């Protein structure tokens, strides 16, 4: 039974972690602020996991297993209260279409253009300005993944 609960915690944590990171990144408009958020978020997540794992194991070993569970439940309840009170202050980005459609478009375009030679100057690439207006963003050109 204990193994099942550990697996449930692992699946729950890993299922929410990417969502929380992207939701937190949406709260900032400037690139520097967003980068700072991701750095602090990653550090706090890892330090928190290290401290909480060490503290809970120490409590369960030296005090009782109920005390370790109590600390964990208290931390989760506190996090839920903080999240509930903080939600009205958050900025919510409206979805810009189906991500599955965009993924399929990229895959089909990459298959069709497999043999196309790229120009040496990125400004010579064909751009669709109306796509930029519809979605609200445009992918930046990169020298990676040719």
Instruction: Express each pLDDT in 2-29 by its tens digit.
Output: 677 777 777 777 777 777 777 777 788 7
With vertex at residue 48, the alpha carbon angle to CA 59 and CA 23, rounded to the nearest 5 degrees, is 140
Place 94 in a pLDDT band, splitting at 50, 70 and 90: confident
Model pLDDT, residue 116: 78
- Whole-model pTM above 0.75? no
Model pLDDT, residue 133: 45
Residue 52 backbone phi and psi in degrees, to 5: -65, -40
Model pLDDT, residue 127: 61
| Of 37, 24, 39, 44, residue with least CA distance to 90 | 24
């Amino acid at each position: 039974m204990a193994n099942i609960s550990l697996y449930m915690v692992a699946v729950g944590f890993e299922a929410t972690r990417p969502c929380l990171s992207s939701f937190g990144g949406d709260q900032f408009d400037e690139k520097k602020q967003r980068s700072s958020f991701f750095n602090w978020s990653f550090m706090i997540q890892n330090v928190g996991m290290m401290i909480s794992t060490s503290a809970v194991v120490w409590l369960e070993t030296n005090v009782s297993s109920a005390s370790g569970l109590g600390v964990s439940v208290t931390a989760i309840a506190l996090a839920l209260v903080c999240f509930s009170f903080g939600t009205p202050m958050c900025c919510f980005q409206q979805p810009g279409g189906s991500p599955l459609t965009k993924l399929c478009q990229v895959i089909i375009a990459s298959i069709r253009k497999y043999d196309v030679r790229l120009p040496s100057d990125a400004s010579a690439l064909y751009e669709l300005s109306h796509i930029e207006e519809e979605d609200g963003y445009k992918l930046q050109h990169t020298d990676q993944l040719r």
